[in-house]
Amino acid sequence: MLNRVMLTELGFPGLLVGGALALEQLVAPARILFGQISDSRPWAGRHRTPYIWLGSALFCSLAVLLIPLIFRLHSAFATGQAAAITGGIAAICAVMACYGLAVSLATTPYLALVIDLTNEQERPRAVGLIWCLLTVGIVVGAIATSVCLKGLDGVQDPAVLEPVLLGFMARVAAVVFGLTLFATWGMEPTGERRGLSRSDDRDDAITLGAAWRLITCSRQVLVFFCFLLAFTLAVFLQDPILESYGAEVFDLPIAATAGLSAIWGVGTLLGLLLAGLWLVPQLGKFAAARLGCQLILGSLLLLVLVGLSGEATALRIVLFLFGLATGIGTNATLVLMLDLTLPEVAGTFVGVWGLAQAYSRAIGKVLGGGLLDLARWLNPGAGAYLPYALVLSVEAGIAVLALVLLNKVSLKQFRDDTNSSLDRVLAAELG
């Protein structure tokens, strides 16, 4: 919703919007540190939930703070004051970077908690349930946004937009933090974490430097890291421009473009259920992930073609199919991600996989906004459709790359390499 407001209603350059939002992910190396800290430094006997609560409180507060900063920057652009523009851009970038740190602080221990509380057989169902509920949240949020902001359709006056968006964001932040406390309260027992197989070789003793040596010693870690980069980029490259695509090519108002996320979310939810309950158990993790990548590729090509018609109904159908493909690919990929993790250093490995996903989303936001600006600059009279078609075509090419990388991943080779490396790192640290 904010992407669309900044790009369409406030007229910010696409590269500025994408670059500022990308800072949320560019601080992703902190995921490794936060994973290591949650592994080794419990609060009141708990390794995960205190960090989840602290991170959630911070990112909810920063999300509210972002609204007035966006409108202050718009005012600076309108008056042409260079110092105010520079300060406004710096402030937004700083808040987005801090927001990313807070998200990393909350989400890395959360995924590590999933590993702590499940075994390999339980994880496919756990991942399916978690991501289904995550997608339900996206759908409910998109519908709530569409309903609550219905009165802003056609409004471009910042004096009207700012108070409505600020009040809406404050209510959302309060609900999100309340749900976080409710959902995680009492989930983590005190004392030893389930999933540790070597009581004498606790990863509490492993330093951050040793953890980094562990995760960089295997070629399979690098291959899967690159696959996660490509897969996430293939799903989210259009993220900063999708609602503006609906606005400029399909003539949809704010409330209607906010509803596009709900359509995508319903498709994703069905895809997650389909993959978790049937496709992954029947086809296997790798085959299901491969199928998801193939469907994402097909959906992106359809998303390019549907823009030629300008039909909003066709756009909604394609977005539903894209969501279905995303759900299938995401479920299979997350199960692979959790399997390609050693229980002894769960937080560290989850931090690395989170780093890959975060970097790809950051690249997607910068590349999506930058490609849109570049295409508009190169073809000033080409109309609204062509720049968006270029972004979506590049995204389809990245989906092909993800398929190639997936074929190079070997679960057996990963485990052989990393178990041997873990023994060496632990011996060096404890010796």
Find all residues with CB under 8 Å of 5, minimum gap 6, and list them: 70, 161, 165, 254
| Crossing angle between the packed helical segments 219-236 and 411-430, to the nearest 10 degrees | 120
Cβ–Cβ under 8 Å, residues 349 and 215: yes
> How is domain 2-184+205-425 classified at the CATH fold level?
Growth Hormone; Chain: A; (1.20.1250)
Q: If pLDDT is split at 50, 70 and 90, which confidence band does 199 have?
A: very low
Q: Which of 183-197, 255-269, 289-303 has the lowest mean pLDDT?
A: 183-197
> DSSP secondary-structure letter at 40?
H
Q: What is the pTM of this model?
A: 0.69
Contact by Cβ (8 Å): 36, 352: no
pLDDT of residue 355: 65
Check pLDDT > 80 for residue 125. no
Measured distance CA(230)–CA(304) in Å, rounded: 19
Which residues lie below 8 Å from residue 219, measured CB to CB, with a gap of 6+? 417
pLDDT of 404 above 80: yes
Q: Which of 192-206, 221-235, 253-267, 397-411 has the highest mean pLDDT?
A: 397-411
Greater pLDDT, 111 or 295: 295
Band (pLDDT 50/70/90 cuts) for residue 133 is: confident
The yes-or-no verdict on residue 126 having pLDDT over 80 is: no
pLDDT at 203 over 60: no
Phi, psi of 187, rounded to the nearest 5 degrees:
-75, -25
Q: Which of 150, 144, 184, 161 lies closest to 57 in space, CA to CA?
A: 184
Q: Which of these, 364, 281, 268, 277, lies nearest to 322 by C-alpha position?
A: 268
* pLDDT for res 341: 66
Considering only residues 351 and 313, tell me which one the structure prediction assigns the higher pLDDT. Answer: 313
Task: Determine which helix (DSSP H) or strand (DSSP E) holds 274, and give its type and residue range.
Answer: helix 254-274
pLDDT at 191 over 80: no
Interval 269-282: pLDDT, tens: 888 888 878 888 88
Distance CA 326, CA 27 (A): 25
CA distance linking residue 180 with residue 59, whole number of Å: 12
Residue 106 binned pLDDT confidence (cut-offs 50, 70, 90): very high
pLDDT tens-digit series, residues 319-359: 999 999 998 998 888 888 777 766 656 666 666 666 677 77
Q: Round to whole Å and give the CA distance between 160 and 254.
A: 14
Averaged over 136-165, what is the pLDDT?
82
Compute CA distances 329 → 53, 274, 322, 364, whole Å: 29, 11, 11, 18
For residue range 227-267, list pLDDT tens digits in order. 888 998 999 888 888 888 988 899 888 778 878 888 888 89
Position 192 scores a pLDDT of 52
Beta-bridge partners for 46: 43
Strand partners, 175: none
Which residue reads 């987005």 in tokens?
96
Cα 216 to Cα 208: distance, rounded to the nearest angstrom: 12
- Largest Cα–Cα distance in the chain? 68
Helix (H, G, I), strand (E, B) or coil at 241: coil
Statement: residue 209 has pLDDT above 60: no
What does the pLDDT average to over 206-232?
70
Q: What is the pLDDT of residue 206?
A: 44
User: Residue 323: what residue type?
Assistant: G
Percent of the chain at pLDDT above 70?
A: 83
Alpha-carbon gap, residue 378 to 114, rounded angstroms: 47
What average pLDDT is seen over the chain? 81
Is 32 buried (19+), middle (13-18) or exposed (0-12) by CB count in 10 A? buried
| pLDDT level of residue 196 (50, 70, 90 thresholds) | very low
Check whether 213 has a pLDDT greater than 80: no
Compute the distance between CA of residue 129 and CA of residue 282 in angstroms, rounded to an integer. 18
Domain ranges in the chain? 2-184+205-425
What's the pLDDT score for residue 128? Answer: 64
Percent of the chain clearing pLDDT 90 (strictly above): 26
